[in-house]
């Protein structure tokens, strides 16, 4: 069901939301690894 929602969403919206989300998540992961919060 979630896959159909994503397909429908992407047909009517741009992917900028997902690109922004991935950037924020990536920066947060790198920051946590650098501070030692996550053990890499």
Q: What is the pLDDT of residue 40?
A: 59
Which helix H or strand E contains 25, and what residues bound it? helix 16-35
Give the span between the Cα atoms of 32 and 29, in whole angstroms.
Answer: 5
Q: What is the pLDDT of residue 5?
A: 85
Q: What is the pLDDT of residue 30?
A: 92
Q: What is the pLDDT of residue 33?
A: 92
Q: What is the pLDDT of residues 1-40, one digit of tens each?
A: 788 888 888 888 777 877 888 899 999 999 999 999 877 5
| CB distance 33 to 40 below 8 Å | yes
Looking at the whole model, is its pTM more than 0.75?
Answer: no
Q: What is the pLDDT of residue 39?
A: 74
User: Residue 7: which of 18, 40, 33 has the closest Cα?
Assistant: 18
């Amino acid at each position: 069901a979630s896959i159909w929602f994503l397909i429908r969403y992407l047909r009517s919206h741009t992917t900028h939301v997902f690109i922004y989300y991935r950037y924020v998540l990536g920066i947060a992961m790198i920051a946590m690894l650098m501070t030692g919060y996550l053990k890499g």
